[in-house]
Structure 1
Amino acid sequence: MFEQQPEHVRLHIKELATQASEKSEPSAWFDVLYVEAKGDAAQIPWAKLAPHPYLQDWLTTHAPSAAQGLRALVIGCGLGDDAEALAKRGFEVTAFDISPTAIAWCQQRFPDSTVNYVVADLLAIPSQWHLAFDLVFESRNIQALPLNVRSKVISSVASVVATDGTLLVITRFRETEAEPSGPPWALSNSELAQFENLGLHQRERLLFLASQETDVKHLRIEYHRKKII
C-alpha cells in the first residue's frame, strides 16, 4: 500500500508523476519506475504478486460459472496477477500496460500464460477495442493519473465495455469534491458519475478499507452496459 511505503519512495513517485505531467505525458512515469526496479517487485508499491483480494472475492461470488468464450480486458495490468486470475476462470484475457518493462516482466513471470499481454496507452485506446470486452477490470489506474485528464481516462475505460458487458472498478474514494493531493488522486462521486453518463449502470457499490492500518477508503463498483432493445 502507498501509505506504508517509505517517505523517500512516496516523494520519488510524486516527483516522477509531476515531471511527467509537466511534459504533458501523464502516464510516462510508470515505465520509469518499472525500469528503476530492475526486476525487484518490492520496488513497485502496488505490486503484491497476487490478485487483488476484492477481485478474487468478486470472481467467487459474481463471475459467470462458465466464462469460456467471454473476453476480458485488464487495464494497467502491472505484473499480471489479476489477468492470470481471470484467465484461470476461463476468460479470454487481454491485459495491457503502458510500460513495456512491465509487459516483458509479465511474460517472463508467466511464460505459458494464455493471456495476451500487450503494450498500450489508456489515453489512446486501440480502435478495435471499442465495445469489445464482456468484462473490463480497472484497478487503481484512474487514480494514478492527474485530474486534468480524468474525464478522458474515464471515457476511455467506458469505451471498451461491450453491450451487456460488465465493468469492475476498484479505486480510492474521496467524499469531498475538493481536489486532492497525489498521486494517487482518489475519485469523487461526481467523477464516478461520469461512468453512468457514458451508458453504464451501477449494479453494486462496496466500500472498504485496504487495511486496518489506514483510514483510506476504497470502492469496488460493478457497472453494466445494458442491451439496446
Structure 2
Amino acid sequence: MFEQQPEDLRLYVQQLATEAIQKSEPSSWFEVLYASAKGDTTQIPWAKLAPHPYLQDWLSTHEPFASGQKALIIGCGLGDDAEALAKLGFQVTAFDISPTAVAWCQERFPDSTVNYVIADLLAIPSQWHLAFDFVFECRNIQALPLSVRSSVISSIASVVALSGILLIITRIRETENEPSGPPWPLSNSELAQFEKLGLHQVEHILLLESEQTDVKQVRIEYQRRNLAKYST
C-alpha cells in the first residue's frame, strides 16, 4: 500500500509507525497522519475516494443481500467502502481509531445512514461480539506489527455473527520470518488463526497489487458456521 506513493510520503508513514511502536502505541500513528494531512487526501496513502475495486467485485457477484443486514467496516478511512455497503441496504457501522478520519467521513457524507464511530481494533466494544452479518477488513492487520497481530485477528473474528461473512484483503508473505514494514504482510500461520477462531474459508483468490509490482495480496472470504444448524 506504500510502494506506489511518493517516496517522501512512504518514508513519513514508516517514521510515524516506527515512533508509535517505540511508544508501545502501535496504532496511534493513524491519527497523526490524518491530522497532519489537513484535509488533503493526497497525503493519505490508501485514500482512493472510491470503494475498493476488489470489494466492489465481490459485492457484484454476491447480490442481492437481505435488506437490513448489519455490516462493519474496520478502519473505515474516508468512508467510501462504508457508503457502498449502505447503498446496498446494509445497516453499516464504520469505525476508525482516528477521530480526524471519522470527522472527515461525516463531513464528506453529511446525509449518510452509516454510523461512523471512533473505536480501537485492539479494544473492540463488547456489544459488537458476534453482531455483524458482514465484516470488511482491508489492509488494517498488515499495518500493525506482529507483536499485536494475534490480538488483532482475535478482535476481528469476534465481531462476525453466526453464519456471518468476513471478507479480507491483505498482503501476504511466503515465510514466517518477520518482515520489514510497514506494511507487514501476513503469513499462512497468521491467516490460519481465523479458522482456529471458528471461521471457515470459503474463497481464497490471489491478486497482484498492480502491473508494476510482484507484491502478492489475497482476497479471502470466511464464514462463521452456525453450529446450531448441525446440532441434533
The amino acid that maps onto 2:93 is T
Matched-pair identity in %: 76
**What is the deviation of 1:103?**
0.3
| Residue of structure 2 in register with 1:83 after alignment | 82
**What is the deviation of 1:166?**
0.4
TM-superposition CA deviations, 1:164-197 (whole Å, max 9, x none) = 1000000011111111100000001110000000
Unpaired runs of 5+ in structure 1?
A: none
**What is the deviation of 1:147?**
0.3
| Residue of structure 1 in register with 2:98 after alignment | 99
| Residue of structure 2 in register with 1:35 after alignment | 35
Cα distance between partner residues in 2 of 1:66 and 1:100: 31
Paired positions, count: 228
Cα distance between partner residues in 1 of 2:202 and 2:140: 21
Are 1:62 and 2:69 matched, yes or no?
Answer: no
Q: What does residue range 76-225 of structure 1 map to in structure 2 within 5 Å?
A: 76-225=75-224
Cα distance between partner residues in 1 of 2:102 and 2:32: 13
| Residue of structure 2 in register with 1:71 after alignment | 70
Unpaired runs of 5+ in structure 2?
A: none
Cα distance between partner residues in 2 of 1:227 and 1:206: 24
Cα distance between partner residues in 2 of 1:7 and 1:108: 29
The amino acid that maps onto 1:211 is S
TM-superposition CA deviations, 1:63-120 (whole Å, max 9, x none) = 4x13312000000000000000111111000000000000000000000100000000
Cα distance between partner residues in 1 of 2:179 and 2:27: 18
> Contact 1:98–1:122 at 8 Å: present in 2 too?
yes
Stretches (4+) displaced over 3 A:
none
Cα distance between partner residues in 2 of 1:42 and 1:66: 33
**What is the deviation of 1:11?**
1.4
TM-score scaled by structure 1? 0.98
> Contact 1:93–1:115 at 8 Å: present in 2 too?
yes
CA RMSD of aligned residues (A): 0.8
- SS for the counterpart of 2:210 is coil
The amino acid that maps onto 1:66 is F
TM-superposition CA deviations, 1:118-140 (whole Å, max 9, x none) = 00000000000000000000000
> Contact 1:67–1:89 at 8 Å: present in 2 too?
no
Cα distance between partner residues in 1 of 2:65 and 2:60: 12
| Residue of structure 2 in register with 1:46 after alignment | 46
- SS for the counterpart of 1:39 is coil
- SS for the counterpart of 2:152 is helix
- SS for the counterpart of 1:50 is coil
> Contact 1:131–1:163 at 8 Å: present in 2 too?
yes
TM-score scaled by structure 2? 0.97
Cα distance between partner residues in 1 of 2:55 and 2:102: 20
